[in-house]
Structure 1
Amino acid sequence: MARRWTPRRFVVLRRIRVVSCALLVVLAMVLTFFISARKSVALSVNGQTKMVTTYAYSVDGLLREQGIKVKTHDLVDSTSGGQLRNHAAVTVRSAYQTTIVIQGQRVPFWTTATSMDQLLGFFEENRKQAMKVTVDVGNVYNQLTGGLVINQAGPVTVIADGKTSVAPDGKLPAASILDSKGIVLGKEDRVSVEHDQGATVLRVQRVTHGNTQRTIPIAFATRTVVDPSLAPGQTQMRQAGVAGQRLQTIQVTYVDGQAESERVVKEETVAMPVDQVVAVGPDKPKEGQNSGQQSKDAGKDSQQVQKTPSPSPSASQDSQSATTPAPTPTHTKPPQTTQPTQPSTPAPAMPDNKPAPSPAPAPSPSRDGLWHASPELAQAYAGGAAAQRGWTGSQFADLVTLWNKESGWSWKAKNPKSPAYGIPQANPGSQMADYGPNWRDDAAVQIDWGLNYIAQRYGSPSAAMRFWNQHKYY
């Protein structure tokens, strides 16, 4: 027997249908969320690639999920930008610090290059004019700084002790190549890599030290004494001056036999200077200064003026005239020049023993970095730093144009309307302190910060340049 239709039964069925539809919608949304949020991503860390499944929405979230710590100068790249998408490729390259030499100036440089040859190539890609760039290998036996291969592509020319040879296998670190050539390094010897006419050159420079001495003259002083026995303006040499001597011991640093630098390690005075003594006659007295008659006449005139009554005298003036005695005329004597207590021919007192040597001045600390760099030098550094991010050609040209408009590539550029500072015009400039404490003076610190800022906010210099053209800032 079929159930009878009732209003209550209708309400119950309707509620069941509504709840069922709501559950289906929620289930569909959950399934859609998990299907869309689930991503398969290729994650490469320092050349090691693996496929990972993640529900992270951003690259930063993926790295946190995988426990990968990214430091300040490390490079992170994603084919999908900051927003993570399915089948994206994320690359993380850890940076290490080496030292490059640009036009003789040593500059710390953070790089992700896998070989010295690749690092030099970064600077050549964006270089418009010939500018000598070499890479110093600080410690060839250190895996981080000296463990990189020299040349992935081919042989390496080795120059050491005035001899040139070729290492056929460039896919070796500097230590292995030098060991194969029987080259033993001293504690301070320098190893560098450079490009020379298309060849990769591994150069060893021998560093030695030697001492030399230098005599520095000490100027003597001149003293003047007044001798009344001499005519006015007459001079007479009483004692000839003798210069003293200061002896400096200097330590000279030689690189491959050529003097490179020096510093004072000891300094002492070996002879005291003897003063030069010159006697001069007294000054000639001025005319009229000794005339007693003129003084007497002046006294009489003064008396006559005081005795002459005033046309309208006052009581106070009469009282003062009555009580004030007339001045007595005096004769002015010529000034007498006193003989100085110091003898005219003093004998210099020479010490019995040699004076104690004065401490040698401390050598000024060397400033590695792009300290107060010229725009040309700053652009050379930026060319290598940008190239390792893949910013070459038009990308680097846009970077040059962008920072020309912002600061003219001046390390000390300021904005009168804001606290922006430096080549990239960081606002405020103190943001760059994360990249180095010398951000006010070191162009390398400013450039490193600026490149990271562009990468994080715009993705590339060309995108930043397009934004600047529209808004006149970036």
Structure 2
Amino acid sequence: MARRWTPQRFTALRRLRVVICALATFALCATFFLCTTRKAVALSVNGETRHVTTYATTVTGLLREQGVDVKTHDLVQSTSAGALTNHDVVTVKSAYQTTISIDGQEVPFWTVADSAEQLLSFFEQNEVAASRVRVDIRNVYNQLTGGFVVNADGPVTVVADGKTSVAPNGKLPAASILDSKSIVLGKDDRVSVEKDGGKTVLRVERVTYGDETATESIPYVTRLVTDASLAPGETRVEQAGVNGEKRITYRVTYVDGKAQTREQTDETVTKVALDKVIAVGPEAPAKTDDDADTGANAGDDADDGAVDDNSGDDGNATDDSTGDPTADTSSPEPSETQTPEPDPEPSTSEPTQQPTQAPTQTPTQQPKPTQTPTQQPTQKPTPTQQPTQQPTQQPSNPAAGSRLYRPTAAAAQAYAAGAAAQYGWTGKNWQNLVNLWNRESGWRWNAENPWSGAYGIPQSLPPSKMAAFGANYRDDAAAQIDWGLSYIAGCYGSPNKAWEHSENYGWY
């Protein structure tokens, strides 16, 4: 007997069908995920290749999974520029720092080259005009295991102690080549590799040190002092100035017998400079608006002076400066009564001018006190020193901590040529990188966008991103370029794609 249909049974069957569909979908998705995310990848670390199976979706995740420690300047490349895919080849090369010379300027340079010839070839592949690059082999030699190969493709020309010879086997380490020529290196000797036309030159420079002593003059200082006994503007030399002397000792670095650099080690003053002292008369009192009032009252002041003088002269009873026709000049009594009368008249007619103007503008032009000789000693100012030479401050070294400090555009491109070639970016990739950063900054280390704040040759936003490649990134073009190349490699894979994005959208 068939089971009867009921609403409860229908609901139970429907729920069962939903569960079965959900489980089937989950199983299908899990199978698809396992099939697509499981990848077989070839991982090459410093020339050692191994095949690994991974479920990582990015190169960074793969390296983290495999325990590969990647430093800031290490080179990481993948055959797929984006997400990690099946059968990819991931290459990791550990970078080490050497010293190169670009147009005579020594620049610390991070490289992954296996030989000096290869490092020089990085710059040759993206040749920059008027740029001569030389590699300091000592730093490279100390970083590479098993010795440093100078030229794996041919002979090497050895230049040392004024002699030139040829080593036919360039595949030997630099130390072996020098030993075959019986060249013994000193502790401070310099060894470098450079290209001279089609030849690879291994050059040895002998470095010695010595001390030199020089005598320099210490200029005297001129001091000005005020002397009230001199007329305004008058000068007199009180003491002649005499220059001093100091003895400076330098530590000189000689390269192949020629002085190259010198550093000050000691300074001793052997003769103290004598200051030149010049006495200058006091400044003349400045004319003010009160001069007109004092000129108008000059007649009254003269009358007062004349009355005072005549009061002490018994033989002269005549007052010629009163100007009063009613004054009785025959007797001294009227003169005594009339002398105070002119004083209240001007004091009542000009009550607001003298109290307000005289104290604030010309306090030294009061009539009677300036005529007394007892005020001259109190007006003598204290001597003041006015040295004519201001002390200079020794500037600190602003280039400290920078690898390529504020270079020209040509020097910046020369550095970028070798750095980009290590990524394999030559030919069109290099040309598009030049075009990209010409558009962004004109290869100027201090280029800054006034609207967005992007800074530097690659126009980093924010600029602090470049700090991972150098703390002094605002002045160090090497830090800016290294960050810019790493950014392009991570976001676009190559300058060609970065330039294409910039052409389409106006930024990258």
TM-score of Structure 1 vs Structure 2, range by shorter chain:
0.7 to 0.9
Structure number having the greater helix percentage: 2
Distance, in Å, in 1 between the alignment partners of 2:18 and 2:398 is 80
Residue 57 of structure 1 and its aligned partner are, at CA, apart by 2.4
Residue deviations 1:379-403 (CA, integer Å, cap 9, x gap): 1111111111111122112112211
Distance, in Å, in 2 between the alignment partners of 1:41 and 1:221 is 77
CA gap 1:297/1:394 in 2 versus in 1, 3 angstroms: farther
Alignment of 1:321-360 (within 5 A): 332=371
* Deviation >6 Å, runs of 4+: 10-25, 223-239, 277-285, 309-314, 327-331, 333-338
Q: Which residue of 1 aligns with 2:89?
A: 89
Q: Which residue of 2 aligns with 1:99?
A: 99
SS at match of 2:62: helix
Distance, in Å, in 2 between the alignment partners of 1:114 and 1:56 is 30
Distance, in Å, in 2 between the alignment partners of 1:227 and 1:29 is 103
Q: Which residue of 1 aligns with 2:193?
A: 193
Distance, in Å, in 1 between the alignment partners of 2:452 and 2:281 is 68
Residue deviations 1:302-336 (CA, integer Å, cap 9, x gap): 9664354999999xxxxxxxxxxxx9978936897
Q: What amino acid is aligned across from residue 302 of structure 2 in structure 1?
A: K
Alignment of 1:221-370 (within 5 A): 221=221, 241-275=241-275, 296-297=302-303, 299=305, 305-308=342-345, 332=371, 367=400, 369-370=403-404
Q: What amino acid is aligned across from residue 117 of structure 1 in structure 2?
A: E
Residue 418 of structure 1 and its aligned partner are, at CA, apart by 2.3
Distance, in Å, in 1 between the alignment partners of 2:367 and 2:57 is 111
CA gap 1:298/1:421 in 2 versus in 1, 3 angstroms: farther
Gaps of 5+ in 1: 286-291, 315-326, 341-360
Distance, in Å, in 1 between the alignment partners of 2:16 and 2:224 is 122
CA gap 1:279/1:37 in 2 versus in 1, 3 angstroms: closer
Alignment of 1:66-465 (within 5 A): 66-139=66-139, 142-144=142-144, 147-221=147-221, 241-275=241-275, 296-297=302-303, 299=305, 305-308=342-345, 332=371, 367=400, 369-465=403-499
Residue 5 of structure 1 and its aligned partner are, at CA, apart by 6.2
Distance, in Å, in 2 between the alignment partners of 1:294 and 1:312 is 13
* Equivalent pair of 2:97/2:140 in contact (CA under 8 Å): no
CA gap 1:239/1:425 in 2 versus in 1, 3 angstroms: closer
Tell me which structure has the larger Cα radius of gyration.
Answer: 2
* Equivalent pair of 1:296/1:329 in contact (CA under 8 Å): no
Residue deviations 1:187-240 (CA, integer Å, cap 9, x gap): 211111111111111111111111111111123355789999999999887865
Alignment of 1:51-66 (within 5 A): 51-66=51-66
Residue deviations 1:223-271 (CA, integer Å, cap 9, x gap): 7899999999998878654432211111111111111111221111112
The two structures have a TM-score, normalised by structure 2, of 0.72
Name the Cα RMSD after superposition: 4.3
CA gap 1:277/1:146 in 2 versus in 1, 3 angstroms: farther
Q: What amino acid is aligned across from residue 491 of structure 2 in structure 1?
A: R
CA gap 1:293/1:19 in 2 versus in 1, 3 angstroms: closer
Distance, in Å, in 1 between the alignment partners of 2:202 and 2:64 is 40
CA gap 1:145/1:255 in 2 versus in 1, 3 angstroms: farther
SS at match of 2:129: coil
Distance, in Å, in 2 between the alignment partners of 1:384 and 1:449 is 14
Aligned length: 431
CA gap 1:56/1:220 in 2 versus in 1, 3 angstroms: closer
Residue deviations 1:154-184 (CA, integer Å, cap 9, x gap): 1111111111111111112222222222212
Distance, in Å, in 1 between the alignment partners of 2:87 and 2:281 is 102
Residue 76 of structure 1 and its aligned partner are, at CA, apart by 1.4
Residue deviations 1:396-437 (CA, integer Å, cap 9, x gap): 121122112222222122222223211111111111111111
SS at match of 1:142: helix
CA gap 1:139/1:457 in 2 versus in 1, 3 angstroms: closer
Residue 452 of structure 1 and its aligned partner are, at CA, apart by 0.5
CA gap 1:363/1:164 in 2 versus in 1, 3 angstroms: farther
Distance, in Å, in 2 between the alignment partners of 1:313 and 1:68 is 98
* Equivalent pair of 1:137/1:146 in contact (CA under 8 Å): no
Q: Which residue of 2 aligns with 1:343?
A: none
Q: What amino acid is aligned across from residue 429 of structure 2 in structure 1?
A: Q
